[in-house]
A and B are shown apart, each in its own frame.
Chain A
Amino acid sequence: MHRVTEKVTLSENIVKTVFEAPDIAKKRKAGQFVILMIDDKGERIPLTIVDSDPVKGTLTIIYQVVGKTTDQLARLEVGDLIQHVLGPLGHPTEIEGIKTAICVGGGVGIGVLYPIAKALKEKGTRVISIIGARTKNLLILEEESRSVSDELHITTDDGSYGRHGFVSDVLKDIIDSGQKVDRVFTIGPVPMMRVVANVTRPYNIKTLVSLNPIMVDGTGMCGACRVTVGGKTKFTCVDGPEFDGHEVDFGLLMSRLRMYIDQEQEARELCRCGKND
């Protein structure tokens, strides 16, 4: 059992939850994730660990409320319990020997990107962060991102804050300005990661994406999270979650993410009805 110790609503539908998981907090490295299951009738969902506190024995997750499980998670208050948390899973991000990195985050992906930027910064990498959202009040972790970046650029799709446009526009400008960039990390909606990978491809800048497909066990047992990378099938849970963005079949990833869209809606509707009872 894992007790919730903090909950903060970061924007309209993005929530931060901190909960106890002392063993995982001791081992966890940037880029790794957990599978959690709120109760015994729940679904197992993967969520990247945004931060960990080995002293307090806690993990932090940031997630967007998109379905029944995240909805239920967002309603857990301090003192409530999450029954099952498995982790840390996946390979940690490789952060060694990078002089300059650009971290490109969109929407809730900014939360997932933040620990990577932080780890890079701690290794002495020059970190340029580009974060974006649809509109100003959906933008999260601005201050946190600034604190771990040498440069921070902000975009909104509607121009309500920062530069009017997309994160990929800023990325292209920075690369075109002639700065030497060793690595790009990008996490966000699948279409955004695809565009970012397309921007860096002609420049041959290695671009890592962190994928969040549907998973069940998270230990390499089921293959639900398989993705095609460079024409080969990979399991995100044990081979990833980070892959070379120039090699990922994003179209396939998107269609597999939509596999249960009807059931997800049904479950969420029922959940909401239950709430109003």
Chain B
Amino acid sequence: MTEQEKIEKKEKKERIPRQGMPEQDPKARVTNFDEVPTGYSPETAMLEARRCIQCKKPGCVSGCPVDIDIPAFIQLVADGDFIGAARKIKETNCLPAVCGRVCPQEDQCEKLCVLGKKWDPVAIGRLERFVADYERKAGTIEIPALPASTGKRIAVIGAGPAGLTIAGDLVKMGHDVTIFEALHKSGGVLIYGIPEFRLPKGIVDAEVEYLQKIGVKIVTDAAIGRLKTIDDLFAEGFHAVFLGVGAGAPVFMNIPGENFSGIYSANEYLTRSNLMKAYRFPEYDTPIAKGRNVAVIGGGNVAMDSVRTALRLGAENAIIIYRRTKNEMPARAEEVHHAEEEGVQFQFLTNPIEYIGDEKGWVRQMVCQRMELGEPDESGRRRPVVIRGSEFKIDVDTVVVSVGTMANPVIPMTTPGLDTNRWGYIVTKDETGETTRKGVWAGGDIVTGSATVILAMGAGRKAAMAIHDYVMSL
């Protein structure tokens, strides 16, 4: 029987549609920061899991950057063994509750699900989220038996997705791992960037606690490059270093008036709201501008997070300003859909060229140009071209610039022998992330530029194997 026949047989037998996930009503959720989708029930999860036809050569696994044995965990869900399913995922992915929420499954595992050719793919991400949440809530998170200590010390710089992954992997191989994090809390972009309504911070905290329980040491408030250089770490006795510092520096557009008060980088806006909990000011001390007319420049996931944060902070008009059209937006379809449901407005084919401020230096208006799409550029997307004479103004009191990030130069600057490319990203010799400096590996956004949580985790995983081989050969 071919796979196709198997599907048809199964469909005839059961005809289970892809199971939706309940969500908070859009009108209610814009007034709070609680998570939008509320997750599957055990019954729904088992029903959805039964849709999987257990392919012999599963496409989904080849689409997963960390090679989760997807059919195996889904079978366990179908059998009702949710804890077993969670442990199956954790064999290769230490952050399933995070990945089940923020991975772009539609471009990875689910894109390659054979059911998707004729019907809808199995909701792999939702199932991953369900089992991870189930295990966490059940309080049965297992501490694996660890091998004897190798006596090798490894420093991981940055407690984001790449750093947390590699730390977990290396500690499970018996190494002594210390993460150095510049902020006061671990999680990197998971904690400062992605909002509570998309990734509750309690989940990130639980994942970090798990790593600490299995022996990972975490030093927060440690600005490596300033407090200690990479050379200092080797001198202190570390055998290898992994750099997972992210592409943390915000990009501005360098247009007139961009430094007026009320204009933020997305990094700052989200850091204030998420890390510093400015949405709970004055209970928390950090303030944030609660604008009535908020414009967010950009069309990526970070722009969607920013504009939806603006709505929850009370904006009357929260507008995405994007220079191409909806089709070219890099944001996930699900995020755009959620934003639309919540009342976000979209100004496509529009680009700001200047800000106008008041006598106090606060932004009041944004001068924009209309664009049209021309020939495709090197990214394959059609290049936006200015329509002459199309300038118009939009009234704004808060602006969030979300047009990308670049490499932070502090570590490369203070680490002799560590080569960077012309954009400041760290040069790696191969896919393990080995850098030009002996004993130093790098992975995640500081190598690739802004990408996804799961790709950074994949990089951490590959580097873990290489670092293990290296330190054991010393």
Contacts and interface: CB of A to CB of B under 8 A. Distances in A.
A216 B272 contact: yes
Interface string A70-90: 000000000000011111110
A276 interface: no
Q: Which of A219, A226, A254 has the most CB of B within 10 A?
A: A219
Contacts of B268: 216, 222-224
Interface size class of A (residues with CB under 8 A): 35 or more
B269 to A, nearest CB: 9
Contacts of A226: 252, 259
A221 B284 contact: no
Contacts of A219: 182, 223, 248, 408, 410
A86 B410 contact: no
Interface in B403-432: 408-410
Interface string B174-209: 000000001110000000100000000000000000
A233 B259 contact: yes
A5 interface: no
Interface string B248-277: 111010100011111011011001100011
Contacts of A218: 223
A174 interface: no
A2 to B, nearest CB: 9
Interface residues of B, number: 43
Interface in B271-294: 271-272, 276-277, 281-287, 289
B227 A27 contact: yes
Interface in B217-270: 220-223, 226-228, 248-250, 252, 254, 258-262, 264-265, 267-268
A256 interface: yes
Interface in A224-277: 224, 226-228, 233, 238, 251-252, 254-256, 258-260, 263-264, 266-267, 270
A42 B285 contact: yes
A69 interface: yes
A221 B287 contact: no
Given A220-B249, A222-B271, A266 B259 contact: no
Residue of A221, A255, A263 most packed against chain B (CB within 10 A): A221
Contacts of B267: 221-223
B34 to A, nearest CB: 20
A69 B286 CA distance: 10
Contacts of A83: 184
Given A222-B267, A259-B261, A264 B276 contact: no
Main secondary structure of the interface of B (DSSP, over half): loop
A44 B276 contact: yes
Nearest to A43: B285
B362 interface: yes
Contact of B221 (A68, A86, A227, A267): A86
Given A222-B250, A255-B362, A84 B226 contact: no
A238 B276 contact: no
A85 B222 CA distance: 9
B73 to A, nearest CB: 36
Given A223-B267, A252-B259, A256-B259, A263 B226 contact: no
A256 to B, nearest CB: 6
Contacts of A27: 226-228
Interface string B41-63: 00000000000000000000000
Given A252-B259, A255-B261, A23 B228 contact: yes
B253 to A, nearest CB: 10
A108 interface: no
A89 B223 CA distance: 8
Given A86-B182, A217-B192, A255-B261, 7 more contacts: A84-B184, A85-B221, A216-B271, A223-B265, A233-B258, A238-B409, A259-B262
- Across the A-B interface, the 9 shortest Cβ-Cβ residue pairs: A255-B361, A263-B287, A222-B268, A43-B285, A221-B248, A223-B265, A84-B184, A260-B287, A259-B261
Interface of A: 23-24, 27, 37, 40-44, 68-69, 83-89, 216-224, 226-228, 233, 238, 251-252, 254-256, 258-260, 263-264, 266-267, 270
Interface of B: 182-184, 192, 220-223, 226-228, 248-250, 252, 254, 258-262, 264-265, 267-268, 271-272, 276-277, 281-287, 289, 360-362, 408-410
20 contacts: A43-B276, A84-B184, A84-B220, A85-B221, A87-B226, A216-B286, A217-B182, A218-B223, A219-B410, A221-B192, A221-B249, A222-B271, A223-B252, A233-B254, A255-B261, A263-B282, A263-B287, A264-B287, A267-B285, A270-B282
